[in-house]
Amino acid sequence: MKLIPLADHIILKMVETEETTKGGIILTGTAKEKPSVAEVIAVGPGGTVDGKTIEITVKPGDKVITSQYAGSKVTLEDVEYVIVRQNDILAIVE
């Protein structure tokens, strides 16, 4: 089975990040406050949404930051994805 996003929707896979505190404690992605870092898996074609032309500015493979409660979670073949609209993406991580 394959997920194909429509319009300005983007499929993301959350990335587990580790961060070490000043005291040497390693915090996993689930132990920290969000926003969250995710990898773009697939993008919709863009087009016209609510009368406005939408051009997709991210591409598969990009790392992006989304807000904590953005999108809808979907599990497919034991992998969890998040489907968001392009305006739910806060930044591209380079």
**pLDDT digits (tens), the chain, 94 positions:** 889 999 999 999 998 765 666 676 766 555 455 558 999 999 999 988 788 888 999 999 999 999 888 899 999 999 999 999 999 999 999 8
Q: pTM here?
A: 0.79
The DSSP secondary structure of the chain, one letter per residue, reads ------TTEEEEEE----EE-TTS-EE-GGGSPPPEEEEEEEE---EEETTEEE-----TT-EEEE-TT-SEEEEETTEEEEEEEGGGEEEEE-
- The answer regarding whether domain 9-93 maps to CATH 2.30.33.40 reads yes
- Give domain limits for the chain: 9-93
